[in-house]
A and B are shown apart, each in its own frame.
Chain A
Amino acid sequence: MTGRRNTDPAWLRGMTMRRMSRRDLFKAGGVGAGALSLGAILAACGGGGDSSAGTSSGAIDWSAKPAGTLDFANWPLYIDKEKVDGQLVRPSLLQFTDQNDIEVNYREVIQGNATFFGKIQPQLAAGKSTGYDLMVITNGETLTRLLALDYVVELPTDMRPNFDKYAAPSVKDPAYDPGNKFTMAWQSGLTGIAWDPKQIAELRPDNPTITSMNDLFDPVFAGKVGMFGDNADMPNLTLLGMGIDPTTSTVDDWNAAAEKLTAQRDDGIVRQYYEQNYINALSNGDVAIAMGWSGDIFQTNLSGDSEGLQFTVPTEGAIIWTDNMMIPKGAAHPVDAMTYMDYVYDPDVAGQMAQWINYITPVPDSKAFVMGLYQDTGDEYYKNVAESPLVYPTPEDQAKLHTYRVLTEDEQLEWNGIFQPIYQS
């Protein structure tokens, strides 16, 4: 790694001149946000399959020099962006290229874990390159499947000094990937309750604050409750609300949760099961309270178009999920990918990304960088980010966070059979 310089916070900070892009983008993208996943499905026919022979699986020479290219597949709106001279650039990637002589082909091609898996699976099964060296997948069914099918490259443990030093305890040695043998966290987020104080005050004047999971089941809000229509967030958070830790739950617990959810639906409490467009529904007043993700509310709050939307970690606890970086088998440039995976654990880089992404950063020490931005620019925004428990959760919050249940294939089948009919009614 010739010509490697130390990270220069001033350089990154210089790039961050006007931190508006994410907010602007979110505002503009508000309408399309719900359509994103659908659009992806309808357009899903691109075969990004680069059949050029990658490294044969299992025999990666990690001591080799980086090839100088990194093909990175990520989700939309999930990395820092700035407008420099009228052009959108990604500062953290620019700096990476600058320091390591590795060009990054950054592509926002992941719209859903399962759909992306469906797209690359044929190449993985054939032992060919997917065309990507790095991809980001949420812990859950898809990740479990990827690991079970042996589609992910095992990582060298001696090539991630930043990770060893700075990674938050919550992303080290996770249950879904013991010892981080295959994955390293990109960002985490919370699933909790999103709500609109104005509507809640109208509907329940005597108790206008949302604190508990039971509020999602309160008949006062009949027809104004939004739930996630999925096999991960809805069941896990509901179990948590019942005082059951999902990770140690039994089939009886699942059935009890399903019963509760079915009653909630049949009593007309649920307005709709959402994939991800619950924010629009909250803003439009279709629902007053919904299951939600922390980062979304943070952005909506700041964008000001629906002032006052709140995100609450219920007293019973919230779910913390993690999007993970990993190298798919057959990747042409694994060393470059590994270099990058450790690079993002540099606290300054992590801070630069966190101030834009607004989900939970895996590097708590990055807070100093964000506060530095506040001191440099005087922009209150950075202070809000640095002090937000949604980006830097407090230890008390951390104690209330639980992860998804990791399911075996047979368990997953049973689980899906229990929970899917609720929202697929």
Chain B
Amino acid sequence: MADQGKPSLEDLVESSVTALGGGVAPQRLASRRKRLVPYGLAAPSVFWLLVFFLIPTIYMGFISLGSGYLGDIKFGLNFSNYVDVLKTYDTQFIRSVVYALIVTFLALCIAYPLAYWIALYGGRRKNVFILLILLPFFVSFVIRTVQWQFILADNGIIFGPLKNLGLLSENFHVLSTPIAVIAGITYNFLPFTALPLYVALERLDPRLLEAGRDLYANKVTTFLKVVWPLSLPGVFAAFLLTFVPAVGDYVNSQVLGGPKTTMIGQIIQNLFQVNFDYPHGAALSFILMAFLLIGASLYAKVLGTEAVTSAAGR
């Protein structure tokens, strides 16, 4: 968002046209063309969103009010679909939000020191460290999660030796518990947390830290008064980028979870792909989407978007 003081591109064009006293025809044409430039640049993405997001979303909106199953879905105004799914799957809904909050908190705790260290002490190897964070992305999401199954297996490489040493009881297990699910999601989404944090911290002017020291602030105070506030846009973005996909994740709970760890994404997947119940699946998707949209905008309102967008605009 442009600052109030600075004239925008459009204003500049406008004023130059006015300055020329209305200008002659070719100039007006040129200015009109210039005015169209932003739209032209945006056209591909607008088209993309229209075709692959807006139209399917509207279609799913219709389906969510329909009835019947794939193959013979009847359109209607069954708002009860929304009530049905909320009543049936409230446990899983709440569980997903709770899991995602824990995941986001953990991921922030892990990623912040990491990003801080790379940004401030990474030196010439910064890019190498960033690449290392991104490296897991070169392996498919599902495969990575399945690997966790092996790491966390009851007699696997971690718990096997510990059990043999008698440090853990024979029946101890992490797989099929909420801990495994939360750990899996945290691991999988960590790069989404780390990157925005890194971007925010990397912009930090080291002279500000010096200034803090000059003003007799100790390290903790410098961090709290200088580093943390300046990194807030990064924290904000990291929170959203982690929390939103984490709520809807359906792979980790399926692969690493057990009884009573089902998340809402799994339910939606099953409604569509096992039960062929598109209306209820669509209704649940919409509830999730609405929850996330409202949650995100409330969150933005409370924390204030100005700092975030201005940082992003820099």
Contact = CB atoms under 8 A, between A and B. Distances in A.
A112 B269 CA distance: 13
A125 B142 contact: no
Given A34-B149, A42-B251, 17 more contacts: A31-B146, A34-B146, A35-B142, A38-B254, A38-B255, A42-B142, A114-B273, A114-B276, A117-B276, A118-B273, A125-B71, A272-B175, A272-B258, A272-B259, A273-B259, A284-B150, A409-B69
B193 interface: no
B4 to A, nearest CB: 45
B240 interface: no
B11 interface: no
Contacts of B273: 41, 112, 114-115, 118
A121 interface: yes
A182 to B, nearest CB: 16
Contact of B143 (A35, A145, A272, A280): A35
Given A38-B251, A114-B274, A265-B259, A286 B142 contact: no
A231 B173 contact: no
Interface string B260-278: 1010001101101111100
B71 A271 contact: no
Interface in A402-416: 409, 416
A325 B197 CA distance: 54
A231 B274 contact: yes
Given A34-B255, A286-B175, A39 B262 contact: no
29 contacts: A31-B150, A35-B255, A38-B251, A38-B254, A39-B140, A39-B142, A42-B142, A42-B251, A117-B276, A125-B71, A145-B276, A149-B71, A223-B173, A265-B260, A270-B259, A271-B173, A272-B175, A272-B257, A277-B255, A280-B149, A284-B153, A285-B155, A286-B154, A286-B175, A286-B176, A416-B275, A420-B270, A424-B92, A424-B266
B141 A425 contact: no
A424 B176 contact: no
Given A41-B273, A273-B259, A286-B176, A149 B72 contact: yes
A423 B91 CA distance: 14
Contacts of A24: none
Interface string A387-425: 000000000000000000000010000001000100111
Contact of A121 (B70, B251, B269): B70
B171 interface: yes
Nearest to B256: A272
Interface in B290-307: none
Nearest to B257: A272
Contacts, number: 95
A118 B176 contact: no
Interface of B: 69-72, 91-92, 140-143, 146, 149-150, 153-156, 171, 173, 175-176, 251, 254-255, 257-260, 262, 266-267, 269-270, 272-276
Interface residues of A, number: 38
B159 to A, nearest CB: 10
Given A114-B273, A286-B175, A425 B142 contact: no
A42 B255 CA distance: 14
Nearest to A416: B275
Contacts of B154: 284-286
B146 to A, nearest CB: 5
Contacts of A117: 70, 276
The 7 closest A-B pairs by CB, nearest first: A284-B153, A285-B155, A149-B71, A272-B258, A272-B176, A38-B142, A35-B142
Q: Which of A38, A273, A285, A423 has the most CB of B within 10 A?
A: A38
Q: Which of B142, B251, B266 has the most CB of A within 10 A?
A: B142
A280 B256 CA distance: 13
Interface string A91-118: 0000000000000000000001011011
Given A286-B175, A425-B260, A275 B254 contact: yes
Contacts of B91: 425
A271 B146 contact: no
